[in-house]
Amino acid sequence: MSQILLAKPVIKAEINKLKLKCQEYLDNGITPFLKVLLVGDHPASLIYTRNKKKFCEKIGAQCEILTLDSRTSEEDFMEVVEGLNADKSVHGFLIQLPLPKQLSHIDTTNLVNAYKDVDGFHSDNISKLYRGSTRENLLAPCTPKGIMTLLDFYNIEVEGKSAVVIGRSLIVGKPMALMLTNRNATVTLAHSKTKNLESLCQNADIIITACGSPKMFTQNYFKNDQSQVVIDVGISRQEDGSLSGDCDFENIKDSVKAITPVPGGVGPMTIFTVAQNLLHALDNYPED
């Protein structure tokens, strides 16, 4: 029997730690506060930001989505960002991506103060990951960090394993490769120009698909001997309205050792990690 790596049991097991930590802050008169800056009405972003707010509130933290008009100018956008960085009542802050066209040229990497950077995108935070930190309270990118939490919960060994990550984005692929390397996996970072992707995947112990190509990964990419672990980061809306990952779940689920479903796998782990990072941000919040 293959194992379906659902997020729900992981979150059920881990959420109390977050609730307790949040309560400690509340008992000391501090309400952990996340601000989410959303510009425009990108449909997926509306859902993601709503889910982030809902989960933060579930653990007892406060979360406010600050929505700006899709035609907001660069000047106004930057003024809001500066205000949120300066606001001492805000402990965590993220800019939901993508930004609308007229702002899309802005390099957001270092816009959010490193100590409020619950997304883990700031160079100071990425540099810790790059240098090999495996500290649990690192402000690290939420999707790969959430995947590591999921792998750990299901006792999936990483050390000494061969892993292929497909997709080299700054949000998922690259930090994922670093995290797996830091945990002593042997990692191949594949991308759209990779030539021998099928055989790379067939020979890996862990395959992480993050390329946004719905149902691309069929049985052809796997060993089909129930030995491989597959983590599907992709999430695309199909013509019939349903959601699909990068993997052809129905086609491969019985021939791998374990696989994350879409939805219900990686997505909720990302949301969980935003809240986890908010509390880590507060733990390391500068005193003045």
From the CB of 97, what's the least distance to ligand GUN, in Å?
4
From the CB of 147, what's the least distance to ligand GUN, in Å?
12
Residue 75 tokens, joined: 């000047």
Residue in 71, 68, 79, 82 with CA at minimum distance from that of residue 38? 68
From the CB of 220, what's the least distance to ligand GUN, in Å?
29
Residue 120 tokens, joined: 């883990």
Which residues ranging from 166 to 205 are in contact with ligand GUN (CB under 6 A)? 171
Q: Which stretch binds ligand GUN (CB under 6 A): 2-10, 70-78, 90-98, 192-200?
A: 90-98
Asked if 97 is part of the footprint of ligand GUN (rule: CB under 6 A), the reply reads: yes
Closest chain position to ligand GUN (CB): 97
Q: Which is nearer to ligand GUN, 128 or 188 (CB)?
A: 128
Q: Which is nearer to ligand GUN, 96 or 260 (CB)?
A: 96
Which residues ranging from 136 to 155 are in contact with ligand GUN (CB under 6 A)? 142-143
- How many whole angstroms separate alpha carbon 203 and alpha carbon 80? 48
Residue in 102, 100, 89 with CA at minimum distance from that of residue 67? 100
Asked if 96 is part of the footprint of ligand GUN (rule: CB under 6 A), the reply reads: yes
Q: Which stretch binds ligand GUN (CB under 6 A): 92-100, 202-210, 258-266, 276-284?
A: 92-100
Q: Which stretch binds ligand GUN (CB under 6 A): 77-85, 93-101, 181-189, 280-288?
A: 93-101
119 is catalytic: yes
Residue from the set 59, 94, 103, 180 that interacts with ligand GUN by CB under 6 A: 94
Asked if 230 is part of the footprint of ligand GUN (rule: CB under 6 A), the reply reads: no
DSSP string, 203-214: T-SEEEE-S--T
- Beta strands 236-237 and 243-244 are antiparallel
- How many whole angstroms separate alpha carbon 281 and alpha carbon 118? 7
12 is catalytic: no
Are 88 and 96 in contact by the 8 Å Cβ rule? The answer is no
From the CB of 96, what's the least distance to ligand GUN, in Å?
5
- How many whole angstroms separate alpha carbon 103 and alpha carbon 192? 26
Residue 106 tokens, joined: 């802005």
Asked if 113 is part of the footprint of ligand GUN (rule: CB under 6 A), the reply reads: no
Are 92 and 62 in contact by the 8 Å Cβ rule? The answer is no
From the CB of 232, what's the least distance to ligand GUN, in Å?
15
Q: How many beta carbons lie within 10 A of that of residue 49, not counting itself?
A: 20
Could you say which DSSP state residue 137 is in? T
Give the dihedral of Cα atoms 209, 214, 218, 220; nearest 10 deg: -70
Helix 173-182 to helix 142-153 angle (10° resolution) is 40
Asked if 273 is part of the footprint of ligand GUN (rule: CB under 6 A), the reply reads: no
Q: Which is nearer to ligand GUN, 197 or 275 (CB)?
A: 275
Q: Give the binding site for ligand GUN (CB under 6 A).
A: 94-97, 119, 142-143, 171
The catalytic site residues sit at 52, 96, 119
